[in-house]
Amino acid sequence: MTSAHPTYHQYGRTDLPPEQQRALKSAVRWEIFTICYTSVTIAVVALVVGNSQAMRTAWIEDMLSLTPQIAFLVALIFVRRRPTRTHPYGLHRAMGVGHLVAGVALLVIGANLAVESVIGLIAGEHPTIGTVRLFGQTIWLGWLMVAVMVVVVVGPVFIYGPAKARLAPVLHNKLLYADADMAKADWQTNVASIVGVLGIGMGAWWLDGAAAIFISLGIVWDGWRNTKGAVLDLMDQRATTYDDKNAHPLAGRIVQELREQSWVADAAVRVRDLGQVFQVEAFVVPARGRVKVADVDAASSMIAELDWKVQDVVVIPVSELPAEADDGVI
């Protein structure tokens, strides 16, 4: 059968068209670059972290920001595996699992840091920052903290954040998108920690705790958004766009194309996001209550040719469309 249709789709497809392959390769390179960059950041910040709660929180956030990249790279190993009897849909969900793990990690540690900062603030802990000896000069460590936070923000905001944000829609990869989104928002963390440190410098000791709370609430928010998105996809919410903002337009397009077939009276689909690729169940009501197998095959091939994401397609002739299936009406 596959030889008769050279473009015939595969269930649980694992290969990608050239544009996506290029984007994926590029994404892997960016993720590795990010891990290296962040590791250097963590090491440099460790030298100056001192007693500032805001700096400590920002430092832990840097460590946490490694989880999406690691999750992405690990998930990729599984996503590429071909479907088998035991895993007939392939292992695409690994990406969703990685997304969930990253989200929960952010949520839990962010909440922990927020509580820690609030307790410190209530207890009235005055953060102590002394001096360091650098090239024979004694300078206040706070200035070094500010300098480091200004320098390290360049990577996420200007280099790898935007790069990944460009790749995520091409690959329809939500983990990558969330990762890019967090990187681009990283300047808020750095500004907050600078405000905290300068606050300490000016004798406004509480600014440090306040900045730490702001940073940790940012982490909690990221965690909540990611956990929610990952859980919804793992629970087979209908496929949405990579930013979770709208229903994915492919569902409507598939329904439209099916209705244009002469033998189809009506059609509706259920589309779920397996992570990067979709699985499509297309319900069709045949015009004369009869179907030719060749028509069904042609219809599923037609759907598969619409987009590289929809290769796992089943077309099901029914007498009545299920109410919960997407009929393309928004």
Partner 1 sequence: MRTVIENRRTRRTALTAAALLLATALSGCGISIPTDPEGTLEKVTGGELRIGASPDRGLVDVDAATPTGPLADLADEFAATLDASPEWTIGSEETLVGMLEAGDLDLVVGGFTEKTPWIDKAGITRGYSGIPGTDGRKIVMLVPLGENAFLSDLERFLDKEVGS
The piece of 58-66, 95-103, 126-134, 226-234 that touches partner 1 (CB under 8 A) is: 126-134
Q: Is 200 a residue that touches partner 1 (CB under 8 A)?
A: yes
State how far the Cα of 84 lies from the Cα of 184, in Å rounded to an integer: 39
Phi then psi for residue 79, to 5 deg, are -60, -30
For partner 1, the closer of residues 127 and 161 by Cβ is 127
Among 244, 242, 246, 243, residue whose Cα is nearest residue 277: 242
Among 202, 265, 287, 316, binds partner 1 (CB under 8 A): 202
State how far the Cα of 13 lies from the Cα of 315, in Å rounded to an integer: 17
Phi then psi for residue 141, to 5 deg, are -60, -30
The single residue listed with the structure tokens 């100056």 is: 48
The amino acid occupying position 293 is V
Answer for the pair 192, 214: CB distance below 8 angstroms, yes or no. yes
Among 82, 126, 292, 322, binds partner 1 (CB under 8 A): 126
Among 1, 2, 86, 203, binds partner 1 (CB under 8 A): 203
Residue 245 CB, nearest approach to partner 1 (Å): 20
For partner 1, the closer of residues 204 and 265 by Cβ is 204
Among 73, 80, 81, residue whose Cα is nearest residue 102: 73
How many residues of this chain interact with partner 1, rule: CB under 8 A?
A: 20
Q: Binding to partner 1 (CB under 8 A): which residues in 236-265? A: none
Among 263, 267, 272, 241, residue whose Cα is nearest residue 327: 267
Residue 307 CB, nearest approach to partner 1 (Å): 32
Among 32, 36, 39, 130, binds partner 1 (CB under 8 A): 130
State how far the Cα of 205 lies from the Cα of 113, in Å rounded to an integer: 18
For partner 1, the closer of residues 36 and 147 by Cβ is 147
Q: Binding to partner 1 (CB under 8 A): which residues in 169-198? A: 198
Q: Is 8 a residue that touches partner 1 (CB under 8 A)?
A: no
State how far the Cα of 196 lies from the Cα of 210, in Å rounded to an integer: 7
Q: Is 131 a residue that touches partner 1 (CB under 8 A)?
A: yes
Residue 48 CB, nearest approach to partner 1 (Å): 14
Residue 205 CB, nearest approach to partner 1 (Å): 5
Among 254, 267, 263, 262, residue whose Cα is nearest residue 291: 263
Answer for the pair 4, 298: CB distance below 8 angstroms, yes or no. no
Residue 201 CB, nearest approach to partner 1 (Å): 4
**Which residues would be at the binding site for partner 1 (CB under 8 A)?**
125-133, 138, 140, 142-143, 198, 200-205
